[in-house]
Amino acid sequence: MIWTPRTTVAAIIERDRQFLLVEELAHGQRVLNQPAGHLEDGEGLIQAVMREVREETCLAFKPQGLVGIYRYRIPQGADAGLTYLRYCFFGTASALDPAPARDPDILDLIWLERAELARRVLRSPLVLRCIDDYRAGQRHSLELLHEPD
C-alpha cells in the first residue's frame, strides 16, 4: 500500500521580536497558526507559501529561506492518524496594493512574542517548534529546494 502525507507550507514572519499568526477555527475551537496551507496540484512550494500568506493575511510574502521540513502525525481526535509534511519558510511581508479580500476562514491576524504564543491554543505543536527552530538560527537557503520552473 502506498502512503502519502499531506504536504503543507508555512511562513514565519517576524517583526520587533513578534511573530505574525492567524487565528482560525479547527474542530470548533479558536487556534493560532502561522500563515499556512496545503500545496495545490501543479504548484511549487515557494509559490504555495506566497499564495497562502497572500490569501490569509493580504500581505505579499518574500521567502528568504527554509527553517525546516517537519513530519507530524495527529495522535488523536477526528483527524487521528493523518500525517502532514510541513515546509516552513521564513521571510518578509509587505502590504499589497490593492489589498485582496482575506480568506473568510481566518478570524484575525495577531502579532505575538514567543512567550505569549506558548500560552495560547495552537493548531499543532509544529507552530511553536518552527518558531523555536527559527529563533535558534536554523535557516537554510532556498537553493536547497529543486523545483521545475
The CATH code of domain 6-139 reads 3.90.79.10
Whether residue 98 has a cis bond before it, omega within 30° of 0: yes
Look-up of cell digits 493560532: 32
Q: Give tens-digit pLDDT for 26-55.
A: 889 999 999 999 999 999 999 999 999 999
Residues 47 and 70 sit within 8 Å (Cβ to Cβ)? no
Q: Where are the domains of the chain?
A: 6-139
Q: Is the pLDDT of residue 97 over 80?
A: no
Mean pLDDT across the chain: 94
How far does CA 60 lie from the centroid of its chain?
A: 14
In angstroms, the CA 111 to CA 115 distance is 12
Q: Residues 78-90: what's their mean pLDDT?
A: 93
In angstroms, the CA 50 to CA 10 distance is 9
pLDDT of residue 106: 94
